[in-house]
Amino acid sequence: MICNIRKELFLIVIIVITSCQPNEKQRQLKEDVVAFETQHIVIPPGLLCVKSGQTLTDWELEDLPHLVYYYDSTECVGCRLQHVINLSPLFQEESYGEKYDIIPIFAPRVQDREDILQEAKYVLHDHPLYLDLDGLFLKENSRMPSDSRFHCFLLNREGYPMFVGDPTANPKMRRLFTKIEKRLPKRNN
């Protein structure tokens, strides 16, 4: 009898714990997003810019909000560069260059530096790609979450995240991004 009560109690506790976890995870994610949106994010000037097959050390960002894609060294170079192809629809949008800029940043492992320098020249021929060969991005933004869901975000002109997530990930993220993008003012001419 007591053994059956313990088993039932154990099952109830397991059900309660497992049913509460998604809500707890969602609550924690919301808190993390709110905390992240209060951080000032810096795009360090020491990054290499690769555009039109050229590697540039002297470059300047447009005075626009920036949609940042930060690719760390957790995947191979080729895999990460393939993700950039998914950005093509964003580069084709009318708002790109008028309301926001796209900043793909790659932070390769030391052993992958030469490969990424060569391959980056052919990935986004007409659009810039930024290489962080010295880990400057994380040095400047030391509170950057390791959770890769926070590695894509739209910064306002002051450098604070106003949207967190990848608009190319799924239709829901795309709709959320589009709502924010529509409210952005056009470039100051």
What pLDDT, in 10s, does the model give residues 138-184? Answer: 999 998 888 888 899 999 999 999 999 999 988 999 999 999 999 99
Domain annotation covers residue 149:
yes
Its pTM surpasses 0.75: yes
Domain annotation covers residue 27:
no
Give the pLDDT of residue 4. 44
Report which of 51, 75, 39 is spatially closest to residue 131, judged by C-alpha positions: 51
- Please report where in the chains the tokens 């060969």 appear, as a residue: 133
Domain annotation covers residue 33:
no
Phi, psi angles (nearest 5°) of residue 71: -105, 110
**One-letter amino acid of 183:** R
Question: What does the alpha-carbon distance between residue 128 and residue 62 come to, in Å, rounded to a whole number?
Answer: 12
Question: What CATH number does residue 115 fall under?
Answer: 3.40.30.10
Domain annotation covers residue 120:
yes
Going 62 to 40 to 154 to 129, the CA torsion angle's sign is: positive
pLDDT at 1 over 60: no
Domain annotation covers residue 162:
yes
Q: What pLDDT digit, counting tens, does each position of 16-52 carry?
A: 444 445 688 888 888 888 888 889 999 999 999 988 8
- Cβ neighbors of 106 (< 8 A, separation 6 or more) are 71, 77, 80, 81, 116, 120, 129, 130, 131, 132
Could you give the maximum distance between any two Cα atoms of the chain, in Å? 80
Going 139 to 143 to 148 to 154, the CA torsion angle's sign is: negative
Domain annotation covers residue 6:
no
Cα 172–chain centre separation: 16
Range of the domain at 142: 44-183
Residues 165 and 158 sit within 8 Å (Cβ to Cβ): no
Domain annotation covers residue 126:
yes
Q: What percent of the chain has pLDDT over 70?
A: 86
Domain annotation covers residue 70:
yes
Structural domain total, the chain: 1
Question: What does the alpha-carbon distance between residue 103 and residue 117 come to, in Å, rounded to a whole number?
Answer: 17
